[in-house]
Structure formats: structure tokens, C-alpha cells
Chain A
Amino acid sequence: MTTAPLPPLPTRPPSGCPFDPPEGLDRLRAEEPLSKVALDDGTWAWLATRYADVRAILGDARFSSDTNTPGYPVSGMTGGGPRPGATRGFIRMDPPEHTRLRRMVTRDFMVKRVEELRPTLQKLTDELCDAMERVDRSEHPVDLVKALALPLPSLAISLLLGVPYEDHETFQRLTGALLSREISEEDRGAARAELLEYIDRLVESKKSEPGDDILSRLVTERYDKGELTHEDLVAFAVLLLVAGHETTANMIGLSALTLMLDRDTAGRLREDPALIRGAVEELLRFHSIIRNGPRRAALEDVEVGGQLIRKGEGVIVAVPSANRDEDVFPDAGRLDIRRPNAQHHVAFGYGIHQCLGQALARAELQVVITTLLRRFPTMRPAVPLEEIPFRTDMVIYGCHALPVTW
């Protein structure tokens, strides 16, 4: 008996609808909420598309986040999955090690700490906006991705990690190169190596001259007591950088574009800035930029939504599908900044691995969107929508570039 080949993981929104979830997810959620998908390396994994099942999987300790667990679906992950010898961040670990490491940095991202950072985020945003205003737009439009969406989260994470001011340009150049598609794979590899070397040196410098930042604190409170190795410190820095940069940058770009195209919503937000909190939750739900996971491997047989998932089988969770589940979010395809339960979204994941930096991401988005609406009320795309290059080729969705004028 032969069986039909399994379909791949849906990744592309329908043609002409860049804000829709990848095509095929709606059908799966309705007809086959736990389905099998083929991965590039010839293996397969379960794909969960319903909100309830997604929360059940991500909230269940019987599903492992450890990429070394048998059956973990590594194929197609960022950076091609785990590399031999590379130190994993705690995002790829299970308790108790995950708990131990995550708790070392939780306080740096807690709500009240992020609130203290808000004036600084505003200042950084204002400076980037000042620079945009100085550009001569008669020559060519401003690329909002390059001018604001990428640098703001890079500067924010520089601040937290304690990247010295004189290194900001290097840091931004390297982090930008990792995310650019305008450079060759070879150059990207070189940028990755250079960034790792830079972070290695940064960690060394914190050992000799600790400052007021996360890395320094980890050195004095943990490394000096033998609780963390040098490699652990580098892994922390890489994880915080990777997790906090590309994600926030793409949410900034997509959110700005959405509001440029939806004048009514932009107008309401401009008139009543108190709506911004709910608006950011709804934008997170609506765009659901994580297109490639999270992923898990079953440590034992588990039944989810009536489907038995066997020990050693891999699971991929479809965040964009869960966040458009009509059972939870009525009229889910509509952006509604007053949606009462928008914050029930799983855009930051769910379970013990839920985004550590979510308060910071929220604050950055709230500050950037409010500032853009206030300072650039007439900002609009400088090209037709179909000419904006969307990141259908990346695991984190967004715009590669966003030419704007005003």
C-alpha cells in the first residue's frame, strides 16, 4: 500500500493578501486540527492549528523543548537547528535547567523594570525619528525598516546587554547583516562569526570592568561563583539578542504599515492614545509573525484534541492559525483594536517558555507606534502594496523593506 506524500508546512500567505496567515492553515484548523506535515530532511511532524490544542501542547511538560530529545523536529529551524558544539540557549532546554537559567534573567525583563526603561525607549525612538526627518526625500523614500524598525530593538538590547555606545554602530551593522537578504550567504556567515567574536569580547570586557547591565550582573553574581561558564554567558547574550531583535523589528514594520493602510484605526489611536495597549495586543494577534514554531517533542504518549501523539514524535505549533481561531476570536480576520480578549493571543507562545521579553516588546511597540502616529500623521507607503517585499521566505514574517514618504 502506498500513501500520498505529506504536504509541507504552510508558510506563504495567499497571493495579494500579505496580512493573512499562511495559506492552508484555515482549512487544516477546520478539518484536520492535528495533521502531519513533511519536513525538508525527509522526516515529518504533527502540525497543531487550533487555539485550544496549541495551548494544551505548549502548557504540557510532557512535550519537550530540548532539541536533543528524540523526535524533536529540527529540520527548517532558524540556523538549521542545533550545531554540534554550539551552546544552546535556555529556550531549547527543559526544566530544571531551563528554570535555573531563565530565573537568572527574569528580573531584567519584569514589568516594573521595563517601565523604568520607557523614557529611554522614547528618547531612542525620538532620535531615530529626528534622523528620518532630516533625510532628503526628494532623492528616494525612507526605508522605515532600516531607519527605525531594525535600529530601535537593536539599541534597546544593546542597552540591556551593556554594549558600549561607541560599539553601537558595529553591533547594528552586524545584527542588521544577519537579517538582510541583500547580502550573500557567505557574507552573512562572516557577519555571524564576527558578531559571535564581538559578543565573546564583550563578555570578557564585563569580567574585567563590570557595568550596570545584564551581562555584568551575570558575571559578578553567577560566573564568579562558578554557576555559569563563559560559554553560558555568550549563549545568554546571543539568545537575548536573537529573540529580541528580529521579532520586535518585524512587528514594528508590520504594525506601522497596517496603520498607514487603515486610516480609521490610526485616527482613533491618535485621538485616544490610551487605546494603544489593546491595539498592540491586537496587532500581535493579527500578525502572529512566528511562522515556524514553536516546536516540541513528546516525552511520552499524549492525547491532544482527540489525537494520540506518541512518545518520540515531533510537534509544530501554528501560532498564526491559533490566533485566528474563530472559537476564541470572533471575526478573527478583522483587526479590531478594541477586541476585549486580544491579549489571550499566543503570539508570545504559551507555557513556561512564553517570551521572557514580552513586556519590553510591548513597551517598544507602544512607544514606536504612538510616536509615529503623532509625528508623522501623513506617513504612507511610497510604493504600491504589491511592491513591498514581504518576508515569505523567512521564519519570522514581516517586510524586508518598507519605503515610506509623508
Chain B
Amino acid sequence: MQITIDEAKCCGAGQCVLVAPEVFDQRDEDGIVVLLDASPAAAQHAAVREAATICPAAAIQVRQ
């Protein structure tokens, strides 16, 4: 799995951090998404897909 994020789109809702805290964080200065792990282990895949689905700004792209 390969994750890319679009910081320009991110609106800082923080849903990805709630769903997959080991993969996503928020930047201290402005709450914008930080990708902690661009190719996470299989155990994280379901949570990452869920994060991409509920991201309100469609800022998370997932490639298998």
C-alpha cells in the first residue's frame, strides 16, 4: 500500500487521526495532516482505507 496526501486540500477535521493514529497525525502549527508512514504494514490497511473514505476533503489517496 502506498499513501499520498494533499496538504492543500486538507481541512484539519482530524478524522484520519481518530481512525488510523499510527499512520496519520496533525501538524502542531496548523492542524494539517502529517503522514507518519507512507507504506504501512498490512495490519493498518483497513484503517487507512477507512480514513480515506471518511476524509471530508478527499485529501488521502491510497494505491495498492
Contact = CB atoms under 8 A, between A and B. Distances in A.
A348 B55 CA distance: 12
Contacts of B56: 58-59, 348-352, 354
Contact of B30 (A107, A111, A343): A107
A344 B54 CA distance: 6
Contact of A354 (B13, B25, B26): B13
Most buried by A among B12, B27, B53: B12
B34 to A, nearest CB: 10
A110 B26 contact: yes
A106 interface: yes
Interface residues of A, number: 27
**Chain B binding surface SS class:** loop
Interface in B11-26: 11-15, 17-19, 21, 25-26
Interface string B43-64: 0000000000110111000000
B53 A111 contact: no
Contacts of A111: 14, 17-18, 21, 26
Interface stretch (A2-10, A126-134, A355-363): A355-363
Nearest to A98: B11
Given A344-B53, A354-B56, A106 B17 contact: no
A111 B14 CA distance: 6
Given A102-B11, A354-B11, A359-B18, A110 B31 contact: yes
A186 B54 CA distance: 43
Nearest to B28: A107
Contact of B13 (A99, A344, A355): A355
Interface in A355-400: 355-356, 358-359, 362
B57 A351 contact: yes
B32 interface: yes
B58 A59 contact: yes
A106 B58 contact: no
Interface in A219-259: none
A112 B30 CA distance: 12
A83 interface: no
A358 B31 CA distance: 13
Interface string A312-348: 0000000000000000000000000000000110001
Contacts of A348: 13, 56
Given A107-B26, A107-B28, A344-B53, A352 B14 contact: no
Contacts of B29: 107
A358 B19 CA distance: 14
Given A106-B12, A107-B27, A354-B11, 4 more contacts: A110-B31, A111-B26, A351-B11, A355-B13
22 contacts: A59-B58, A103-B12, A106-B30, A106-B31, A107-B28, A107-B29, A110-B26, A111-B17, A111-B21, A111-B26, A112-B26, A343-B54, A348-B13, A348-B56, A349-B56, A351-B11, A351-B56, A351-B57, A352-B9, A354-B56, A358-B13, A358-B14
Interface of B: 9, 11-15, 17-19, 21, 25-32, 53-54, 56-58
For the complex of A and B, list the 9 residue pairs with the smallest distance between their C-beta atoms, beginning with the closest. A106-B31, A106-B12, A354-B56, A110-B31, A107-B31, A110-B26, A111-B17, A111-B14, A352-B11
